Each structure stands twice: as structure tokens, then as C-alpha cells.
Amino acid sequence: MKSFLTFANMSETIRTITNRAVKLLGNEYDEAEIKAIVRVIFEHLTGWDYTHFVINYDSSLDTSISEKATAIINRLQEGEPIQYIIGYEIFMGMKFSLNPSTLIPRPETEELVREIIDSDIKKGSIIDIGSGSGCIAISLAKNIPHATVHGCDISTKAIAQAKKNAELNGVKVDFRQIDILHWEEYHFEKYDAIVSNPPYITEQEKSEMDRRVLAHEPHTALFVPDNKPLLFYERIADFGCRYLNHRGKLWFEINRAYGNECCKMLAERGYSEVKLKQDSYGNDRIVSAIWMRKQSDI
């Protein structure tokens, strides 16, 4: 493969780098995505906002900048996601540092977070199960300042990253390393809300996935066995039956193929007002429910 780096020199401009990136990355991204990625690269390398990016579009670049941009595009050509290359992603208007032990936050997850922020949960105790980078828990802590937010994940590295992101974004979240599949082995308090975006992609769906995701993102945060597609949802629902307060809320981000099954599972466990909502792409994506305790348990 011809190295893109050989083209870097003082006559390079953002335009020439963009044009070459379109040619080199055309098999991985569409043209609009490539141009957006180039903007991200230059914002990362120079700190330029969109206005400065446009103003400097045809200006000669310093050699060090063009070479760094070139190196990033070489890595993109090998299939590495831009978020891992630059080390962060913007989610809910905040910067989240990433590493290969944490999933890259998705726009669909922003829709889940906005759903919770727009709800009547304005205080109380919230737990985010399977926190990863901490994007859900930290966003909730930032936008629902009177709530006490907790987060848990099975990965030690993910918990360390989430704690760093909480500090980076100036919020307090209590993150703990927990294997939620064995939640009975741990001590918890009562919660007013549970939210989770757990692993939900079945093994048989791997063949349909982007190679960049398969090669670089943590499989333990992505996949469940084909014969147990609701594995995490069932365990978290059981956890909610034990630890949700009366009229406590439950929110899930789900595999679009299992929306009805997830709703049925919650109803069978006694959850009320079970709702299924589509994301902006028209896919089943968010399930919410309320836990009503028996009068004798209140």
C-alpha cells in the first residue's frame, strides 16, 4: 500500500489533504463522512473551529501539521476509528476520553440520555449499569444536578476511564466495578432510576457489522450469546425488582430486533407502563418501564 505520508510537504493545504483522503478512504466512508472527519482531524491538531477551518482551507500548512494529519489518515485507511486515534469523542456537548476498553459513544445513546433528562426525574438516586466511558452517567449528572448518580461496569479499565471523564467534565459520579450478571454478590442501595445500554448484539450479527467495530471495540461490551439475546436485560430487570424504589423508572437501550421481546419480559416481571420508542432512524431503540412495589413492600 502506498504511504500517504510521502505526499506531505510545505505546499499541502487542507484542500489537498481532503481530496487525497476522499480517494484513500472511499472504501471505508462516504464523501460527506470523510470531509467531516478531516474537520475533526484539524480541530484536534490545531484547535481551529469551523470558521478558522474554512479561512485556512487553501493556506499552506506547516509541515508538522500536514505530517500529523497524514499519519492519522494512514491509520484510518487501516480501519482504526478516528475516536481511538484522537483519543476522545464529543457526546452531549462534552468531551469523553476513550481507550480500546470503552465503546465509542453513539448518537442513539444520546437519544436515550435526552429521554431521561426530559423525564420527571429531577432528583433522587440513579444508577447506570455498564458505564463504559461513563458517557451516560456523567451526562445525567451534568444535566440533572440534584440527582445522585452511580455507575458500574465489569471492566477495571473502563471504570478508571469513567472516573477520569467525570473529573474532566466536572461532575461527581460514584463508579464501581461490578459484574451485574452476579449482582446478588454485591451490596447496593435503593434507586429511583436505572439506565443501561448493555451488550446486546448477538454473535450471529457479527457478519453484518463494520470491520472497524469488530477489530477495535471491546467485544465484551458488544456481544451476547445467540441463545440468550436478553441476557443482560433479564438480569438488570431482576436487579430492578429488588433495588428500585416504588415507582422507580427503568430505561434500556436495546437491539432493534428484540424490542417486543424486551417489553414482554419486563411485563412478565411485573413492570408497569412498559413503552417502546424508536430512534431517529426509525429503529426500535429505547424501552422504558416503571416498577410498582406491592403495598406490603412499601
Give me the sheet containing 174-177, strands edge to edge: 174-177, 147-153, 124-129, 191-196, 244-253, 284-291, 271-278
Can you point out the beta strands (E) in 98-255?
124-129, 147-153, 174-177, 191-196, 201-202, 223-224, 244-253
Q: What is the CA radius of gyration of the chain?
A: 22
Contacts of 83 (CB under 8 A, 6+ apart): 89, 98, 104
Averaged pLDDT score across all residues of the chain:
92
Q: How confident is the model at residue 296 (pLDDT cuts 50, 70, 90)?
A: low
Beta bridge partners of 194: 127, 250
pLDDT of the residue at 4: 42
Contacts of 152 (CB under 8 A, 6+ apart): 127, 128, 129, 130, 131, 159, 175, 176, 177, 178, 180
Question: In angstroms, how far apart are the furthest CA atoms of the chain?
Answer: 77
pLDDT of the residue at 210: 75
**pLDDT above 90 coverage of the chain, percent:** 83
Per-residue pLDDT reduced to its tens digit, 185-194: 999 999 999 9
Consecutive H or E run containing 110: helix 107-117
Q: How confident is the model at residue 215 (pLDDT cuts 50, 70, 90)?
A: low
Out of 100-104, 178-182, 207-211, give the one with best mean pLDDT. 178-182
Q: Show the cell assigned to 246.
A: 416504588
**Residue ranges of domains in the chain, CATH in brackets:** 4-78 (1.10.8), 92-297 (3.40.50.150)
pLDDT score of 298 more than 90 = no
